[in-house]
Chain A
Amino acid sequence: MALVEVRDLKMYYRTLRGHVKAVDSVSFDIERGKAVGIAGESGCGKSSMAISILRLLPRNGEYHGGSVVMNGQDILKMPEEQFRKDVRWKQISMIFQGAMNALNPVHRVGDQIVEAILEHEDVSHEEAVSRTKDLFDLVGINPNRFGEYPHEFSGGMKQRAVIAMALACHPDLIIADEPTTALDVMVQAQILKAIGELREELNLSMMLITHDLSVIAQTCDSVVIMYAGKVAEYGSVMDVYVNPTHPYAMGLVKSFPNIHAERSPVRSLPGFPPNLIAPPTGCRFHPRCPLADEECMTVEPPLREVSRKKHYVACHKAEIVEQGVDIWAQ
């Protein structure tokens, strides 16, 4: 059984003009010890999904159905107090977007991690300190720097400290929202390498949210491609990158430049994502899709398994795309 099963999750934002359907019937699994990548354009609901799973909705966020089952329990139905004590940070922790700026500048880095441990676990201060030093060591920071302030750390070091904080209470799952976007390429490679090694060592599951398809290709086992609050395609990274079967996924994969490929113009996907208050009828991608016909405009395509096992696609035309025609050839 999967560690986490997300089923039909719906989370809408209430606004004056109506509900913004940021997460609209999303289903996928996170296996124990595996990493799943969530990709899509900005505004497709990636980050909203992360905060939905961690129950960190802003005031105008509302659940409209669905479940997130972890260890046999629907964590969305749990009382808040129990969720805070048993799940948040202890079973699921999170590395936020721009996390290196999330450290409090007037407190020592080490103390901030100690505080996180004491908040969630019933241990002595000494034990929390020694655990923090072990964590520093684990993520590649010299434990002697326990007493330094965030401004004494470089960007990459701060990011490592935030990872240490996320690991502090031995979670089973880490949700990482654009963990390396603000970092330089070389530091990004160092950090992602460190995360990969830690995951192996601790048998951690990860949900990695990013717009950068190359990061997912290098670090994840499976990938969910989201479009306008819905899952467009979901499967192993091999299946989705080598045989993308949703026109959107294919466009996205092909528009990502590969440094080792022959020189060629960089591709783009014409158009832009829809307004999520009143999304297009039928398939939400139909206004941008070169294959769209009558059916696509009226009937919403269900997420279904195509010819490869465990490769799911929400497209009426999946069979055409599967034949390998480059539908975006210009």
Chain B
Amino acid sequence: MGAVNTAQKSNVVEHGEVILQVRDLVKHFPVRMGFWQSMKTKEQPVLRAVDGVSLDVYKGEILGLVGESGCGKTTLARTILRLTDATSGEAILEGQNIFDLNEAEMKKLRRKMQIIFQDPYESMNPRMDVQTVIAEPLILQGLASSAHDARDVVASALADVEMVPPEEYMGRYPHELSGGQRQRVAVARALSVDPDFIVADEPVSMLDVSIRGEVLNLMLRLSRSRGVTFIYITHDLATARHICDRIAVMYLGKIVEMGTADEVIQTPLHPYTTALIGAVFVPDPRHRGFAEVLKGEIPSPVNPPQGCRLHPRCPYTMDICKQVEPPLVLHEGTHQVACHRAER
């Protein structure tokens, strides 16, 4: 167990086949106004949760989507899965734009994309045993007629997540499992329909540190041995650094930096990424000290700052930053950054 070599990774990024292309994805939520407010303002204000995101996801990689709360990382993933409708843009999976599909086509496609939720205590029906929980997507997809029918698939999904012997766990209810085991059942449930990619939304943040590795290494192993693709949403840069092939850093609805885990963590180019890494505490008393963090807190995504969205908090703001929004451009290798300063 645990003997996964991270170094044996990822030529996926260099030679990989792109399985999902996201282009200019925008998701705005209307902001509710009071009556008087709506009389005064002409335009309906919107919350720009995701504001023009483009990225490619390669087969078999773990792509980390990191940022502080409210940066739009969860909304981005939910929009790609069409759990919420996009305002504009496209997400192309197997040559089809997910947002153009009708309901029946969408249901078929749901098999290709699965999600693991943050809270393993809330995301499972307490009255279903493990077998039923894992078989449910199969039944919904018409791949099995009953939980009993799906027994073999359930057993192999449980074996995939190292819950062996599967028979021992099949009859258990969620309350009879530990947090880590529940989260592994959630992974098994996602795996049961053999999806192309799985969105893992903060899959370990509710778990104790001591068992986080259990779930994270499972994801790593599945991506390496079975070619399962993961989009790993997290605010925890330290775990992202260790299990992700690539990391995309989001700030106020935009990707500000993207590259391999080494590129982003070891040579961050965007001041926001630098500050985010600096704010991560090191579990080693021999290396003490607080890095300079950015002043203030994230502004509201209803009225994001003009130009570069970071400019009111950035220590290096230049005149151009206040007016022109920097595009995400390739810097070196696979390393992309959206910063005027990095362009020089």
Binding site for B on A (CB under 8 A): 41-42, 154-156, 184-190, 192-193, 211-215, 217-218, 237-238, 241-242, 251-253, 255-261, 263-270, 272, 330
Q: Min CB distance, A73 to chain B, in Å? A: 33
Contact of B297 among A187, A259, A264 (CB under 8 A): A187
Q: Is the CB of A257 within 8 A of B238?
A: yes
Q: Min CB distance, A1 to chain B, in Å? A: 25
Q: Is the CB of A266 within 8 A of B279?
A: no
Q: Chain A residues near B209 (CB, 8 Å)?
A: 41, 211-213, 252, 255-256
Q: Min CB distance, A322 to chain B, in Å? A: 19
Q: Is the CB of A264 within 8 A of B210?
A: no
Contact of A186 among B1, B276, B285 (CB under 8 A): B276
CA distance A236 to B241 in the complex (A): 29
Q: Is the CB of B217 within 8 A of A259?
A: no
CA distance A156 to B298 in the complex (A): 11
Q: Chain A residues near B217 (CB, 8 Å)?
A: 265-266, 268
CA distance A255 to B15 in the complex (A): 32
Fill in one digit per residue for B253-297: 1 if any A CB lies within 8 Å of its CB, else 0.
000000001100100000000011111111111111011011001
Q: Is the CB of A263 within 8 A of B238?
A: no
Q: Chain B residues near A187 (CB, 8 Å)?
A: 297
Judge if B64 is at the interface, Cβ distance under 8 Å. no
Among A184, A268, A269, the most chain B Cβ lie within 10 Å of the Cβ of A268
Q: Is the CB of A263 within 8 A of B294?
A: no
Q: Is the CB of A265 within 8 A of B242?
A: yes
B5-61 interface (Cβ within 8 A of A): 6-7
Q: Chain A residues near B290 (CB, 8 Å)?
A: 189, 192-193, 218
Q: Chain B residues near A215 (CB, 8 Å)?
A: 281
Q: Is the CB of B285 within 8 A of A238?
A: yes
Contact of B262 among A238, A263, A269 (CB under 8 A): A263
Q: Chain A residues near B278 (CB, 8 Å)?
A: 189
Q: Min CB distance, A36 to chain B, in Å? A: 13
Query: A273: nearest residue on chain B (CB-CB)?
Result: B208
Q: Is the CB of B293 within 8 A of A330?
A: no
Contact of B208 among A42, A188, A264, A266 (CB under 8 A): A42
Q: List 23 A-B contacts (CB under 8 A).
A: A184-B68, A184-B69, A212-B281, A217-B285, A218-B285, A242-B285, A251-B210, A252-B209, A255-B210, A257-B242, A258-B238, A259-B237, A259-B282, A260-B282, A260-B287, A263-B242, A264-B242, A265-B220, A266-B216, A268-B211, A268-B213, A268-B217, A272-B211
Query: A240: nearest residue on chain B (CB-CB)?
Result: B285
Q: Is the CB of A256 within 8 A of B2?
A: no
B196-228 interface (Cβ within 8 A of A): 208-214, 216-217, 220
Q: Is the CB of A269 within 8 A of B7?
A: no
Judge if B101 is at the interface, Cβ distance under 8 Å. no
CA distance A41 to B297 in the complex (A): 30
Among B3, B69, B213, B283, the most chain A Cβ lie within 10 Å of the Cβ of B283
Contact of B279 among A185, A241, A260 (CB under 8 A): A185
Judge if B4 is at the interface, Cβ distance under 8 Å. yes
Q: Chain B residues near A41 (CB, 8 Å)?
A: 208-210
Q: Is the CB of A241 within 8 A of B281?
A: no
CA distance A193 to B294 in the complex (A): 13
Q: Chain A residues near B285 (CB, 8 Å)?
A: 217-218, 237-238, 241-242
Q: Is the CB of A186 within 8 A of B68?
A: yes
CA distance A266 to B293 in the complex (A): 26
Q: Is the CB of A265 within 8 A of B2?
A: yes
Contact of B284 among A188, A193, A241, A266 (CB under 8 A): A241
Contact of A217 among B241, B276, B282, B291 (CB under 8 A): B282
Q: Chain B residues near A263 (CB, 8 Å)?
A: 6-7, 241-242, 261-262
A217 and B284 in contact (CB under 8 A), knowing A41-B210, A184-B68, A266-B239?
A: yes
Q: Is the CB of B216 within 8 A of A190?
A: no
CA distance A190 to B298 in the complex (A): 14
Q: Chain A residues near B4 (CB, 8 Å)?
A: 265
